[in-house]
């Protein structure tokens, strides 16, 4: 089953800054089977496969930085080679300016569906 979400995406940890908005891209995250694709409004698509960790909350994240609790709604996705992981920080793109303040559990669970099961197989 294909799922689509309007999201903001960045490959660097979210941080409080007046210029942090420059690091974000807005677009559509499509999750289909064991792979996700982020398609920005402008620029190249990013394929997210071989996901091995999905976390939310900066304290649980490998690359997270301290951020205010009200703004800490990003989901960190580690994928690719576990020795040299690629990282994606994804946040809800609904209601630009306000949607980021509300945690989107549907988005988080869809990203967690990319994790392999206990046997190392992609989840159905």
Q: What count of Cα atoms within 13 Å lies in the side-chain half-sphere of residue 116? A: 11
Domain boundaries, the chain: 3-112
Residue 71 confidence (pLDDT): 65
- List the pLDDT tens digit at each of the 124 positions of the chain: 899 999 989 998 877 778 877 888 999 999 998 899 999 998 899 999 999 999 887 666 666 666 666 667 788 899 999 999 999 999 887 655 555 556 678 888 999 999 987 555 555 5
Cβ atoms 89, 74 nearer than 8 A: yes
Q: Report how far residue 61's alpha carbon sits from residue 53's, in angstroms, rounded to the nearest whole number.
A: 9
pTM of the model: 0.82
Please answer whether residues 76 and 52 qualify as being in contact, where contact means their C-beta atoms are separated by less than 8 angstroms: no
- The structural architecture, per CATH, of the domain 3-112 is Roll (2.30)
């Amino acid at each position: 089953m294909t799922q689509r979400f309007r999201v903001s995406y960045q490959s660097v940890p979210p941080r409080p800054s007046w210029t942090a908005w420059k690091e974000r891209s807005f677009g559509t995250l499509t999750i289909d089977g064991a792979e996700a694709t982020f398609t920005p409004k402008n620029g190249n698509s990013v394929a997210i496969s071989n996901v091995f960790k999905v976390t939310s909350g900066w304290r649980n994240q490998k690359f997270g930085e301290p951020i205010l609790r009200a703004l800490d709604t990003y989901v960190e996705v580690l994928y690719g080679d576990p020795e040299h992981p690629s990282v994606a920080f994804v946040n809800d793109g609904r209601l630009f300016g306000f949607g980021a303040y509300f945690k989107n559990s549907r988005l988080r669970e869809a990203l967690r569906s990319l994790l392999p099961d206990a046997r190392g197989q992609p989840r159905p």
